[in-house]
A and B are shown apart, each in its own frame.
Chain A
């Protein structure tokens, strides 16, 4: 499976632990109702489910952008809002600042935290090289394609060297070819510094390709329906998609997703 993160990983507490979390907006019905989940360091967990199952909300709760109604989330031993040094969020949109160059965008999280210029420049150089955009450092976002903008967004997230990356359908707006390619790149980058990932997606194929765990959520209210373990060995490549086990898993998760959606329409 995943290469061990560090020899001491076993002694450290799990990176994320949800205990019976509930989220409702105002007086409305709960969006998320009693989800419990523990992520080990190095896990790549995909959240998949029908729209309205609260997958994106889970990420917002983990990052402290939204408050919990009840239950508990512990990230790296801390309340989410205090764990922001350790985690980073990759939004659905690239959310780059259009008036800054690619390099300046990647440096922004470090600049906000008051890190010195040379450290920022070094981090930007490193992470831009990682996503293959070193040559575009002085471009403005307007001059980049959709896939390139998303790469910059990922480079920006990695510039903080996070232990936990929360990704909210980062490749949802891209065409399938670009998406497949970026999936492979994402795993290749992860080989070098094995952060834990929570990945929200609508694409079963993407979830199976990337994750070692897939959490299928049901909607109204959002609950964990099933968890599927993906035992495909890392590193995964283009070849992985051709394997029988991969295809079997895609079929299985698709079937689960369909049954969850039927539940939703029946309700």
Chain B
């Protein structure tokens, strides 16, 4: 076990070092006049310290938008999933609309939304919400309707009310599905917020997020700062997924087979 964890650290470290080496090698092979297209890792690090406050503020801004949109998606999708789980007829009636919403690229919807609610945080939140909503609804609904038929019979045998059946049986049984949706939504939330910000952040009085910063830096050919922004966006994604994985572990590890230790 101990040996394995050493290798688990060593292998990615080795491949990262190799990647950085190749990065410098690529720069060595490039012509002088094009070098600015691929800033060296140490130049990107320098951009981090130089643009630190701006990057931090933008990350907080985007993180906030992502969190609000994600939160709304979780809450509303849960309520909608409860409603959809009540009968197959209800699902037949509403699934097509959900599909249409899912199939419409969010990038096309963004300008429409901005015209409706105006630029700024509000539209960032709505765009994040839209991108997170579908996987949450679908997974949670699936979970709520996949309850083991024997367990449902067991609750009937106990003369359980519909409310007891939902609260004590269907909702906890749906938790693993809910967390699958949550994991997908967590990877999408920062992307949604950045897409929203690309369109809607710029009008918010200069106080934009990572999307807005990307527009600013690219218009000024600040390549190192652009790479730094990309790394910050990546880190934001890790924070979201990390928190969700932690929550999932916390609620499932004691009883769910997926966390069963081997042997």
Nearest A residue to B172 via CB reads A99
| Number of residues on chain A facing chain B (CB within 8 A) | 21
Interface check A95, CB cutoff 8 A: yes
0/1 interface trace, chain B 189-219, chain A, CB 8 Å (1 if under): 0000000000000000000000000000000
- For the residues of A in contact with B, the DSSP-based class is loop
Given contacts A84-B158, A112-B159, A140-B254, contact A65 B153 (CB under 8 A): yes
Interface check A141, CB cutoff 8 A: yes
Interface check B50, CB cutoff 8 A: no
Q: Which of A89, A92, A95 has the most CB of B within 10 A?
A: A95
Interface check A201, CB cutoff 8 A: no
- Docked pose: A235 CA to B160 CA in angstroms: 36
Contact A95 B150 (CB under 8 A): yes
Nearest A residue to B157 via CB reads A89
- For the residues of B in contact with A, the DSSP-based class is helix
Q: Nearest chain B CB to A86's CB is how many angstroms away?
A: 12
Nearest B residue to A82 via CB reads B159
Q: Nearest chain A CB to B149's CB is how many angstroms away?
A: 10
Interface check B156, CB cutoff 8 A: yes
Interface check A117, CB cutoff 8 A: no
Note all chain B residues with C-beta closer than 8 A to A84. Answer: 157-159
Contact A95 B256 (CB under 8 A): no
Chain B interface (Cβ within 8 Å of chain A)? 148, 150-151, 153-160, 164, 168-169, 172-173, 175, 254-257, 260
Query: Can you list 22 A-B contacts (CB < 8 A)?
Result: A63-B157, A65-B153, A65-B156, A84-B157, A88-B157, A89-B153, A89-B157, A91-B150, A92-B150, A95-B153, A97-B173, A99-B175, A99-B256, A100-B255, A108-B168, A109-B157, A109-B158, A112-B158, A112-B164, A140-B254, A140-B255, A142-B257
